[in-house]
Amino acid sequence: MIAMFACMVLLLVGLYAVVIKRNIIRIIIGFSLVEYAVNLFFALVGFKHNGIPPIITDVAQSRSNFVDPVPQALVLTAIVIGLATTALMLALAMRIYEKYRTFDVTEIRRLKG
Amino acid sequence: MIELYVLLAAMLAAAVAAIEIKDLLAAAVALGIVGFSISIMFILLQAPDLAIVQIVVETLTVVFFAAVILRTTNSDTTLAGGLKRELVLPAVIYVTFGIVFLILMGRVMAELPRFGSPTMLVAREYIALGLERTGAANVVAAIILDFRGYDTLGEGTVLFTAVVGVLTIMRRAGRKERNREARS
Amino acid sequence: MSLIVQVIARLLAGMLFLFGTYVVLHGHLTPGGGFAGGVLIAAAFILMSLAFGSVEQTERNSYTLSSVVESLGGVLFVSLALAGYLAGVFFFQNASVYGTGTPLKLISGGIILPANIAIGIKVGAGLFAMFLALGASRFVMKD
């Protein structure tokens, strides 16, 4: 239970970076932290005490001790999608820097148009 | 599970460092520390598929961050100055949301099954039928490519859209600029 | 880059590519699969382009080639899903040429093996194209 609580604290730390920080790169780091927290939460939900990874090595082996494979299947694609959206945000940040020469959100808002 | 809690503490410390360090490159490296501790936690939670993917994705994330930071600027010029006036409202909203969120998560966690004994209602069928229906020994691969193949198709679409988006944003010149260059 | 980096990069890139292909091909037997192997293959190409000369030089040809290969990977995946129609059953049904095969061998798992290869190609080429776009476009100047 403490592990799930720590996961939520990580999500709140990332959300703090998104809402309050003013540098665009820090906002992107905050988004990344939120995605990591969500993936970790899924993996924590599927854990089983004294479980073994869900891979069949022998046809006659007992499969009653596997950890839950469904959350792992959901997280597997989510990790790669997180990388793709982070790269998209970084491309936008680079274009913004090229036009305004600063990463500060308040100054960009002032110089707009 | 003492290792799990030690890694959680390291992860939280690195996360706080990633958003407070003045140098942007060091912040990207701290983000890498968060990702690697999460991948070790995936191994402790008996999920080797996720650990492999998390390690390589984390390395590429740090490389992408470094590529962007080194081509633009390295230092954070916004940490000077204290709490500005326009930040009071977002701070209040954030604190309120944080408290409400933690209270609701406390209630939700009381309803979830206990940590360490999941109710595998759907997974029981997949594990029992996995080998004979699909022939794959890796149950996770059988799930993402046979039982739930539509999700993988959707993921392919999202990845394709993100790649097209990045290539379009960083294109050399749009059509208007090319016409202007051709005319002059 | 210096000579030591170039020599090591030549060795490591070959091993990374081989290991990535192994992870993709054995995705239905050991942990890994198309996504992990695809990202490893992309990492091999990124290492080569970072160690040997400027990234700007490799831009133009590799740009279009990687985006074309990525689209081909996507088309291959969808056509594998359409193969269910040819076999007379539903869309995305697990119907391949050799059926389910013998379990725990390399040729098994029906359509999972070709689908892993398609995903590996798609993810690898897509991530390499994204890295070239972020690292090699000729706009941003340092201050």
Q: Is position C103 within any domain?
A: yes
In this prediction, residue B127 carries a pLDDT of 84
Report CA-CA distances (Å) from A22 to A16, A29, A107, B34, C135. 11, 12, 10, 22, 24
Q: Is position C143 within any domain?
A: no
Residues B70 and B1 in one domain: yes
Judge residue C4's burial from the number of C-beta atoms within 10 Å of its C-beta, 0-12 exposed, 13-18 middle, 19 or more buried: exposed
Between residues B34 and C109, which one has the greater pLDDT? B34
Residues of chain A with pLDDT under 50: none
Residue A5 CB neighbours (<10 A): 13
Neighbouring chains of C at 3+ CB pairs within 8 Å? A, B
In this prediction, residue B118 carries a pLDDT of 80
Tokens 């390499």 found at = C128
In this prediction, residue B42 carries a pLDDT of 93
In this prediction, residue A89 carries a pLDDT of 94
Nearest CB neighbour to B68, from listed C63, C134, C138: C134
Is any Cβ of chain B less than 8 angstroms from the Cβ of A42? no
Q: Is position B83 within any domain?
A: no
Question: Residue B179 — pLDDT band, cuts 50, 70, 90?
Answer: low
Between residues C67 and C121, which one has the greater pLDDT? C121
Report the distance separating Cα C29 and Cα C23, nearest Å.
10
Residue C4 has pLDDT above 50, yes or no: yes
Q: How many CB pairs under 8 A join B and C?
A: 142
For A2-49+68-111, CATH number out of 3.40.630.30, 1.10.1740.10, 1.10.287.3510, 3.30.300.130 equals 1.10.287.3510
Q: Average pLDDT of chain B?
A: 85
CB contact under 8 A, C30 and B138: yes
Q: Is position C26 within any domain?
A: yes
3-state secondary structure of B75: strand
Residue C44 has pLDDT above 70, yes or no: yes
Residues B2 and B39 in one domain: yes
Q: Which of B42, B76, B110 is the last residue of a domain?
A: B76
Question: Residue B113 — pLDDT band, cuts 50, 70, 90?
Answer: confident
CB contact under 8 A, A5 and B105: yes
pLDDT in tens, B52-75: 999 999 999 999 999 888 888 777
Q: Average pLDDT of chain A?
A: 88
Residue C140 has pLDDT above 50, yes or no: no
Question: Residue C101 — pLDDT band, cuts 50, 70, 90?
Answer: low
Report the distance separating Cα B1 and Cα B45, nearest Å.
10
| Boundaries of every domain in chain A | 2-49+68-111
Q: Is position C141 within any domain?
A: no
CB contact under 8 A, B153 and C143: no
CB contact under 8 A, C77 and B153: yes
Report the distance separating Cα B164 and Cα B168, nearest Å.
6
pLDDT in tens, C50-79: 888 665 555 666 778 888 999 999 999 888
Q: Which range marks the domain in which residue B1 is found?
A: 1-76
Neighbouring chains of A at 3+ CB pairs within 8 Å? B, C
Q: Is position C142 within any domain?
A: no
Residue B81 has pLDDT above 60, yes or no: no
